[in-house]
Structure 1
Amino acid sequence: MRVVAATLVEALAQLRIHRVRVLLSLVGVAVAVAALTASVAMGDVVRQVSVESMEQSSGRPATFGFTVYSTTGESPSTDELVVEAEAIAERYDIRYMSPVMWLGGAVDLAGARTDAQVMGVGADYQAMHRLALAEGRWLVDSDAERLAPVVVVNRTVMDLLGVASVDQHPTITLPDGSTAVVVGVVEGAMYEGYPYVFGLPATALTIVGDEAGAFASPTIEMWVPEESAAAVEAMVARDLRGAFVGTQVDAYRQDYAAYFDPANDPTALMQQVLLGISGVVLLLGALSLVNIAVITVRHRVRELGIRRAFGASLSRVFVGVMLESVVGTVVAGVVGIMLVVLAYRLLLVDRVVPIGVTADLPPFPVAAAVVGLCVATAVGAIAGIIPALVAVRSKVIDAIRF
């Protein structure tokens, strides 16, 4: 242990003596390690954005859809199906359950009939589909008891209504002459460019009226833990068949994780390009480090010869010279990682998250930092072998000659 500590002290001393030369050669290593770490971190961010986009449309893992219909007679009503689904969710301690009705239809917006996507959903739909709000609030179960029904719309509907904020209490005229109050505005790429109106199932059916037709029967969505997904699917389907005898129950897992292929990772190409660039920079940095180290060793022939004369072993000289490169690259790697961590904090945490690009920014990947340090250490060791071999060939007589 004492020998190792002494060798490290010698390596640090030599780095201080030749700090200008070493600093210039290690700039490339620091940049390469920073690029290597940043590529992994950015890959995680891009992957999270992609995942959140898929979860908006299909739900979080694991989300199941259950449809109940009769092939011979009348299918269960929306109220009957929702009541039974709530009972099943309570029975199996399923925290998130929502009926989903894609109704379509035309909506009266500021006196004009406009085609819109009217959706009847439950209060849990927002959490299940990562639905973000630009302002206002989402639907709650108690809204069903209000005299004036409430809806949540997208920005397109707000523009058609000619209002800028829910604080202006905008309303939508229903077919029966009553009005629904807008209490929230959703945002996201999925809900841009076409009118979207969300309401509790009863409200959505009232908005669409006779146009609902066959689409009035809801799909029951449930979000359950992935580890128990298969068991929950079987139990819920069994209970629905028992509650509605003579009907057909279709159960299917609809979230992206059920069909997403990791081999088609959208971030793979970007990471490969960044890793390739990092590798080239690392190679150039290593070559520069080898060149500087060899020149430095050539100027230390007298010192190395004297150390050999006083009993320094070949292994001690070899390890000492090689550690100079290792210590230098490790320091450069730490500096590069610190720069990436700082940029991650200032550019992503403080700027990207507030504008809603991603709801759950992944933590800084510690694994990327560890990989960066390991690569820096390996580069230092490889780059130090050549000057170390030159050093061990120094002879005692060379100390007198120089």
Structure 2
Amino acid sequence: MSFLSRLGTGFVAALLEAWQELRIHRLRVLLSLIGVTIAVASLTTAVAGAGMAQQLMTEQLERYGRPAMISTYVMNPGVQPTTQGNIQVSEAFEKTVERFNISYSSKIGSIYGPVASNQGMRVDTQIQVVDPAYAPMHRIFAQHGRWLEAEDAQNLSPAVVVDRTVISQLGLSDAKLPATIELASGSDSVSVTVIGATSTRDNGMQGQLWMLPETYERWFAAGTPLSDITYATWVPIEGSEELAAQFAKQMQAELPGYFVESSRQDYLAWGQDESLKQVAWVVAGISGIILLLGSLSLLNVAMVTMKQRIREVGIRRSFGATTARVFFSVMMESVVATAVAGGLGVLISMAIVTNPKLINTVLSTGLDQMPGFPLGAALLGMGVSIGVGALTGVLPALVAARVRIVDAIRV
């Protein structure tokens, strides 16, 4: 028999022996591993919860613009904004976007106006005039219905998308989309068609409504021209600062007499990613404390138990068990036990973290894309449980290895 075969046979035999010992001492094992199970479940839940919290924070920050988001501001000094001027600037923006081969770009205008449902419900809403690319640029998803498309500009009824606040306050939560609401236009109102609703509610109680620039120009610009328009592009992070400067320079050449400024406007440019790192550090500290308490409890129980097993170990030595065999088998008892406890703790954590009702209660703002249970958290929980078993099993194993046959006779 080769050395590797003997090593494998010895390892399997030690595992089976450790499992038999655990079965014999079921009550002792159960009491000593409750703390490990709770610790591993807490650790895994903390790590998995931190991952979901980081995703939630990232989603909230990216709704103001994904990295790298370049915002361009255009102003004609001494001249009031007009519809014709806005068209001229938009054409220059589109031409510059094509020249730099940018895939995601959007005009962004904003005004406030009241909307009302057929049931008489009414809410003041922020109306945002955007292009279809605005949604992926700001991590917005249509939870019901769909997002705006370029073809919606040709609809006979203005197509709009609203957020969760508007849907709720207008009493349309249970209504099937598309649905019709009234949107103020000067002294009159226009019937618009809600084709989609998002899960976001970033504007609080006022809510948000989105429509295409062409839709706004056709139905609402005569009553209220847009006076403050931002031109946004979503580009790769690398080289984005230089691209912003070149973009402004090129657009300035297309608009003689205008003032053009471009700069990055996303959470990485603002330094907000530090808050995500702080969450990771806090979770690491909590996990370390949980792990320390669980391992100390297990070590204490293991040491007390080993003093009660001196006769058992002495009898094994009298039948020819070597020091290495005794050491390894005692340590493997701890490893196998904590592996079972760790697996149970991970299952408990998965049941908690993947519970939709619990997540919706704790994360009141909601996740647009509910993630699955982080594989890294499960692997960490199992790895920690096995590691704790190995570390806490070393001292009892050393005590067992030093037991002599005469010690068993004295007990």
Shift of 1:17: 2.8
Equivalent residue for 1:70, pick from 37, 55, 76: 76
Equivalent residue for 1:86, pick from 91, 94, 105: 94
User: What does residue 52 of structure 1 align with?
Assistant: 59
Q: What is the distance in 2 between the residues matched to 1:19 and 1:113? A: 65
Shift of 1:318: 2.0
Amino acid at match of 2:347: M
Higher mean C-alpha displacement, 183-192 vs 241-250? 183-192
Amino acid at match of 2:23: R
Q: Does 1:193 align with 2:205?
A: yes
Q: What is the distance in 2 between the residues matched to 1:226 and 1:302? A: 67
Shift of 1:337: 1.6
SS of 1:216's equivalent in the other structure is coil
Gaps of 5+ in 2: none
Equivalent residue for 2:289, pick from 250, 259, 276: 276
Q: What is the distance in 1 between the residues matched to 2:279 and 2:96? A: 40
Do the aligned partners of 1:98 and 1:124 also contact (CA within 8 Å) in 2? yes
Do the aligned partners of 2:314 and 2:404 also contact (CA within 8 Å) in 1? no
Shift of 1:42: 0.5
Shift of 1:91: 3.9
Do the aligned partners of 2:33 and 2:337 also contact (CA within 8 Å) in 1? yes
Higher mean C-alpha displacement, 266-275 vs 80-89? 266-275
Higher mean C-alpha displacement, 216-225 vs 341-350? 341-350
Shift of 1:194: 1.5
Q: Does 1:389 align with 2:398?
A: yes
Gaps of 5+ in 1: none
- Cα separation, partners in 2 of 1:314 and 1:273, compared to 1, 3 Å: closer
**Matching of residues 120-139 of structure 1 within 5 Å:** 120-133=129-142, 135-139=144-148
Q: What is the distance in 2 between the residues matched to 1:119 and 1:347? A: 31
Do the aligned partners of 1:118 and 1:204 also contact (CA within 8 Å) in 2? no
- Cα separation, partners in 2 of 1:162 and 1:208, compared to 1, 3 Å: farther
Shift of 1:256: 1.6
SS of 1:303's equivalent in the other structure is helix
- Cα separation, partners in 2 of 1:237 and 1:370, compared to 1, 3 Å: same
Higher mean C-alpha displacement, 45-54 vs 13-22? 13-22
CA deviations over 1:241-279 (Å, ceiling 9, x no partner): 222234322112112222244443474556644653454
Shift of 1:376: 1.9
Amino acid at match of 1:225: P
Do the aligned partners of 2:306 and 2:399 also contact (CA within 8 Å) in 1? no
Q: Does 1:230 align with 2:238?
A: no
Do the aligned partners of 1:61 and 1:256 also contact (CA within 8 Å) in 2? yes
Shift of 1:101: 0.9
User: What does residue 341 of structure 2 align with?
Assistant: 332
CA deviations over 1:217-263 (Å, ceiling 9, x no partner): 42111122334533543442232122223432211211222224444
Q: Does 1:144 align with 2:121?
A: no
Q: Does 1:207 align with 2:220?
A: yes
Higher mean C-alpha displacement, 336-345 vs 121-130? 336-345
Q: What is the distance in 1 between the residues matched to 2:238 and 2:62? A: 18
Amino acid at match of 1:382: L
Q: What is the distance in 2 between the residues matched to 1:84 and 1:364? A: 47
Shift of 1:65: 0.7
Shift of 1:181: 1.3
Do the aligned partners of 1:118 and 1:208 also contact (CA within 8 Å) in 2? no
CA deviations over 1:160-219 (Å, ceiling 9, x no partner): 87877455522335338572413244443313322544322244455365654xx52421
Shift of 1:96: 1.8
User: What does residue 360 of structure 1 align with?
Assistant: 369
Q: What is the distance in 2 between the residues matched to 1:30 and 1:225? A: 45
Higher mean C-alpha displacement, 175-184 vs 343-352? 343-352
**Matching of residues 294-333 of structure 1 within 5 Å:** 294-295=307-308, 297-307=309-319, 310=320, 312-333=321-342
User: What does residue 344 of structure 1 align with?
Assistant: 353
Q: What is the distance in 2 between the residues matched to 1:112 and 1:388? A: 73
Shift of 1:119: 2.1
Do the aligned partners of 2:165 and 2:201 also contact (CA within 8 Å) in 1? no
Identical residues among aligned pairs (%)? 32
Q: What is the distance in 2 between the residues matched to 1:116 and 1:351? A: 25
CA deviations over 1:5-56 (Å, ceiling 9, x no partner): 1433433332233233223211211221111111000011122122212222
Q: What is the distance in 2 between the residues matched to 1:277 and 1:60? A: 36
Q: What is the distance in 2 between the residues matched to 1:305 and 1:160? A: 78
Equivalent residue for 2:260, pick from 235, 249, 253: 249
**Matched residue pairs, number?**
394
TM-score (normalised: structure 2): 0.80
Q: Does 1:27 align with 2:34?
A: yes
- Cα separation, partners in 2 of 1:128 and 1:283, compared to 1, 3 Å: same
- Cα separation, partners in 2 of 1:180 and 1:228, compared to 1, 3 Å: farther
Do the aligned partners of 2:18 and 2:329 also contact (CA within 8 Å) in 1? yes
Do the aligned partners of 1:48 and 1:361 also contact (CA within 8 Å) in 2? no
Q: Does 1:369 align with 2:378?
A: yes
TM-score (normalised: structure 1): 0.82
Higher mean C-alpha displacement, 120-129 vs 184-193? 184-193
User: What does residue 286 of structure 1 align with?
Assistant: 299
Q: What is the distance in 2 between the residues matched to 1:108 and 1:14? A: 72
Do the aligned partners of 1:128 and 1:223 also contact (CA within 8 Å) in 2? yes
Q: What is the distance in 2 between the residues matched to 1:372 and 1:158? A: 41
User: What does residue 216 of structure 1 align with?
Assistant: 227
SS of 2:220's equivalent in the other structure is helix
Q: What is the distance in 1 between the residues matched to 2:17 and 2:60? A: 54
- Cα separation, partners in 2 of 1:151 and 1:368, compared to 1, 3 Å: closer
